[in-house]
């Protein structure tokens, strides 16, 4: 991705121009993250990223030759930057909350199981069936006890703060104007590996065969991205930070969880700081579900 660089500005323009240069919507955002693989980032530039290793495909991944059908607003046509950003947030927020709402339902189920198991109760067939499905979906292996397995699931089955998802979707999709957003409803540049599953990157490192996943709806893209954050080994640190917040009854913070995204980009901590600055400048913490 050709990332914005904040140049040195003259005297009084420095403070405002620096912020604007970093966060003005851009149409050439092409940094990508693989949902079907342990994630590394591809940058469509001469600097090639590390090839991600193969792993199990998520059942959220798009089907081969899936046609994008949802209507993405023409964000590029909005010339006023403040208006463009607000309309982008308004567009994305309901889908992020819908995905998190479904996760909360599964989490409440697991918390009930945990309480029951702690008191010595057994699970009925219906509960065991749902428990097994969640274990497979989140790739949690059988543990020494059901309680240990439930606790392992609870680390993964949890929400991602709206502030963090909004910041990354804006960054990765060029505020909804990138080719992958417009043609494939892909707001996070996620990869897929089956021929015909998405769009071929214009600049793909020799030897790589991935495509950029095509989704029927933007909601599917949001679901796939959050599931990747919750299951991919690259984001174990993020999940540990989140679990520590839970254990301490702390408010879920996108700024704090962003520290676990160091492997999201080959830029490492510079990328993390950029996402955190986007959250601060745009006051995205205000969108977090209470």
Taking only the tens place, the pLDDT of each residue in 105-118 is: 999 999 999 999 99
* Residues with Cβ within 8 Å of residue 67, at least 6 apart in sequence: 214, 216
Neighbours of 272 (CB within 10 A): 19
3-state class (DSSP) for residue 140: coil
Pairing of strands 32-34, 41-42: antiparallel
| H-assigned helices in the chain | 14-23, 81-118, 125-137, 146-156, 162-173, 179-184, 218-231, 236-247, 254-257, 269-281
Which tokens sit at 118? 């702690």
- CA quadruple 252, 258, 262, 266: dihedral sign: positive
Look-up: residue for tokens 């604007």? 20
pLDDT at 32 over 60: no
* Residues with Cβ within 8 Å of residue 208, at least 6 apart in sequence: 42, 51
Going along the chain from its start, the domains and CATH numbers come out as 27-61+78-100+160-287 (1.10.530.10)
**Mean predicted confidence (pLDDT) in 187-198:** 89
Closest CA to 161 of 237, 244, 233, 257: 257
136 — phi, psi (to 5°)?
Answer: -70, -45
pLDDT confidence of 289, banded at 50, 70, 90? Answer: confident
pLDDT at 71 over 80: no
CB 156 within 8 A of CB 231: yes
What letter would DSSP give residue 13?
A: G
Beta-bridge partners for 191? 34, 212
Q: How confident is the prediction for the chain on average, in pLDDT?
A: 81
pLDDT confidence of 27, banded at 50, 70, 90? Answer: very low
- CA 232 to centroid of chain Cα atoms: 11
Which tokens sit at 189? 């540049």
Name which of 68-72, 125-129, 173-177 the model is least confident about.
68-72
pLDDT at 30 over 80: no
pLDDT at 182 over 80: yes
Pairing of strands 211-213, 41-42: unpaired
3-state class (DSSP) for residue 211: strand
């Amino acid at each position: 991705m050709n990332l914005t660089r904040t140049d040195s500005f003259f005297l009084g323009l420095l403070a405002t121009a620096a912020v604007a240069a970093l966060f003005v919507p851009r149409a050439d955002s092409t940094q990508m993250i693989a949902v079907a693989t342990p994630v590394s980032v591809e940058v469509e530039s001469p600097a090639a990223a590390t090839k991600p290793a193969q792993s199990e495909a998520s059942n959220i991944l798009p089907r081969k030759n899936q046609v994008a059908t949802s209507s993405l607003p023409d964000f590029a046509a909005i010339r006023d930057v403040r208006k463009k950003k607000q309309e982008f947030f308004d567009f994305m927020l309901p889908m992020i909350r819908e995905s998190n709402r479904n996760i909360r339902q599964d989490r409440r189920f697991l918390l009930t199981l945990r309480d029951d198991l702690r008191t010595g109760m057994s699970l009925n067939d219906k509960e065991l069936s749902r428990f097994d499905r969640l274990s497979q979906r989140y790739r949690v292996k059988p543990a020494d006890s059901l309680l240990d397995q439930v606790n392992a699931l609870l680390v993964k089955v949890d929400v991602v703060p709206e502030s963090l998802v909004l910041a990354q979707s804006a960054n990765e999709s060029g505020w909804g104007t990138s080719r992958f957003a417009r043609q494939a409803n892909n707001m996070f540049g996620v990869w897929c590996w089956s021929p015909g599953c998405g769009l071929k990157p214009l600049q793909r490192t020799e030897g790589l065969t991935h495509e950029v996943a095509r989704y029927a709806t933007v909601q599917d893209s949001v679901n796939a991205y959050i599931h990747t954050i919750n299951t991919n080994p690259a984001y174990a640190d993020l999940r540990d930070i989140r679990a520590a917040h839970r254990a301490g009854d702390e408010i879920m913070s996108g700024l704090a969880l962003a520290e676990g995204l160091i492997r999201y980009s080959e830029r490492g901590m510079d990328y993390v700081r950029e996402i955190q600055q986007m959250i601060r400048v745009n006051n995205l913490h205000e969108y977090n579900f209470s």
